[in-house]
C-alpha cells in the first residue's frame, strides 16, 4: 500500500501556482482516478472516502479538502468523463452531413463510453440522482458541459436559445436512459436508439 502523503496545507498562501499547484493537481487527479477504479469494482457502495485516500496514496484530509462528500467526488469524476468526451471529439469530430446526424453520433459515442463501465456509470448516475442542494453546482456543470458538447455538434458559431434548449433536453433524456440501463430495464442498444429518436424529433421537428 502506498504511504499516504500529508494533507495539503490550507489554501491561504500563494494562490495555486508553480510547484504547489502542480502537486495539488496531481493529488486531485489521483483521487479522481482512485474513485473511478473503486467504482468500477464495487459501484456506488464501493466508493468510501477512506478507501479512496488509501488507493490514491493521499491523506484522508486531502480527499475531504477537495471533495466534501462521496456524492461530490462521484459528480466531479463524472464531469471529468464528460470533459474527456469533449477532448476526444476535438480529436475525432462527430461525423454526419446534418446537425442531427452529428448529434446522434455524439450521443451514441457518449453512451458507448458509459456502458463500457457499468458499475462506475451506475455509481455516477446514482450520485446525480441523489445530489443535495449543496452539490447543485456540480450537477449543473455536468449538464452544462454535455449541453455544450451537443450544441457544438449542431454547427459552428454561437448556439441559439433553441439550440441550447434542445441540447439541454437531450442531455436529460440521456441521463434518464442511463438510469433505465443501470436499472436493467433497457439494454445499451435501446439507450442509443431512444437518444436517436429524441434527437431527430427535437432537431428536425
**Angstrom distance (rounded) from CA 197 to CA 191:** 10
Q: How far apart are CA 124 and CA 78, in angstroms?
A: 6
Q: How far apart are CA 13 and CA 21, in angstroms?
A: 11
pTM, two decimals, is 0.82
Read off the pLDDT of residues 148-183 as tens digits, 9 standing for 90 and up: 999 999 998 999 999 999 999 999 999 899 999 988
Burial label, 40 (beta-carbon count in 10 A; 0-12, 13-18, 19+) = middle
DSSP-based helix, strand, coil % in the chain, nearest 5: 75, 0, 25
pLDDT at 4: 57
User: Confidence class of residue 198 from pLDDT cuts 50, 70 and 90?
Assistant: very high
pLDDT of residue 13: 42
Q: What is the mean pLDDT of residues 1-21?
A: 55
Give the mean pLDDT of 123-133: 91
Amino acid at each position: 500500500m502506498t504511504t499516504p502523503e500529508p494533507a495539503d496545507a490550507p489554501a491561504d498562501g500563494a494562490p495555486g501556482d508553480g510547484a504547489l499547484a502542480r502537486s495539488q493537481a496531481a493529488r486531485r487527479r489521483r483521487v479522481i482516478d482512485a474513485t473511478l477504479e473503486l467504482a468500477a469494482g464495487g459501484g456506488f457502495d464501493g466508493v468510501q472516502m477512506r478507501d479512496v485516500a488509501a488507493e490514491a496514496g493521499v491523506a484522508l484530509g486531502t480527499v475531504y479538502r477537495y471533495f466534501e462528500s462521496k456524492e461530490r467526488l462521484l459528480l466531479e469524476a463524472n464531469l471529468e468523463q464528460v470533459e474527456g468526451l469533449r477532448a476526444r471529439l476535438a480529436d475525432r469530430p462527430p461525423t454526419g452531413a446534418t446537425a442531427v446526424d452529428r448529434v446522434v453520433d455524439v450521443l451514441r459515442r457518449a453512451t458507448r463510453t458509459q456502458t463500457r463501465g457499468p458499475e462506475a456509470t451506475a455509481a455516477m448516475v446514482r450520485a446525480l440522482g441523489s445530489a443535495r442542494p449543496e452539490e447543485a453546482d456540480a450537477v449543473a456543470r455536468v449538464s452544462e458541459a454535455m449541453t455544450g458538447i451537443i450544441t457544438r455538434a449542431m454547427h459552428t458559431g454561437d448556439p441559439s436559445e433553441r439550440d441550447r434548449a434542445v441540447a439541454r433536453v437531450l442531455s436529460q433524456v440521456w441521463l434518464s436512459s442511463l438510469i433505465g440501463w443501470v436499472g436493467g430495464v433497457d439494454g445499451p442498444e435501446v439507450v442509443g436508439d431512444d437518444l436517436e429518436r429524441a434527437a431527430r424529433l427535437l432537431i428536425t421537428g
